[in-house]
Amino acid sequence: MTMNILITGTRKGIGNSLARYYLALGHNVIGCSRQHAEIEHEQYVHFCIDVSDEQQVISLVRQVKKSHGHIDVLINNAGIASMNHLLTTPATTVTKMMQTNFMGTFLFTREVAKLMMKKRSGSIVNFSTVAVPLDLAGEAVYVATKSAVESLTKVSAKELAPLGIRVNAIGPTPIPTDLIKTLPKDKVETLLEKQALPRLGTIEDIENVVDFLISERSSFITGQIIYLGGVF
């Protein structure tokens, strides 16, 4: 069955890879980011927006409703990170990360859920990080924003369940993308040592979990956070 899948943050990294993956499987993909994504496909539509701008998000969902009718899956992938010690983190950085990581997830969840509830079905997948359960030093603000996403995931899962909408989250270990290129090598190695499976993740690892969470066979699974790499 062909699905309409909305993925935020598709210009590069995980979001871009997921968009290409689901397009290759024959699904319709709606993507968005601040800039254009270099994805050329007849079943792909891209919007250039700020995910933390309420009116832009509302407008996007309205346009998708007109063009596609409904949304089956929402993948809240858009996110930014800044690895600073608490004492050297500017307030502007805190605001920017909270707006993108949490507000963006909240706005898309709220607006897409309004569309999903009309069919009384839908799956929402949010993105957290293994940095949350590991309480990684040097990532206080980033971890705080993703902790907020996890709380949103669990509570919204309860609120949206009566409407037929499931909400789950995935917490990846570091994936070789631009997001971790700026991280010191020793910091990455320290993180990997804390995993039961001490290796970097791959996009295939992400695809596998997302496939599982959005599958009709997972219709009894909601409000869950799945961490990769064996993090407890």
CB-CB contact of 49 with 99 (8 Å): no
Tally: H helices and E strands in the chain: 9, 7
Strands 28-33 and 4-8: parallel
Question: Of the candidates 60, 53, 80, which has an alpha carbon nearest to the alpha carbon of residue 6?
Answer: 60
Catalytic (active site) residue 22: no
Q: What is the pLDDT along the chain (232 residues), one digit of tens a residue?
A: 999 999 999 999 999 999 999 999 999 999 999 999 999 999 999 999 999 999 999 999 999 999 999 999 999 999 998 888 999 999 999 999 999 999 999 999 999 999 999 999 999 999 999 999 999 888 899 999 999 999 999 999 999 999 999 999 999 998 887 666 666 777 778 888 899 999 999 999 999 999 999 999 999 999 999 999 998 7
- Per the confidence metrics, is the pTM higher than 0.85? yes
The catalytic residue among 22, 44, 142, 227 is: 142
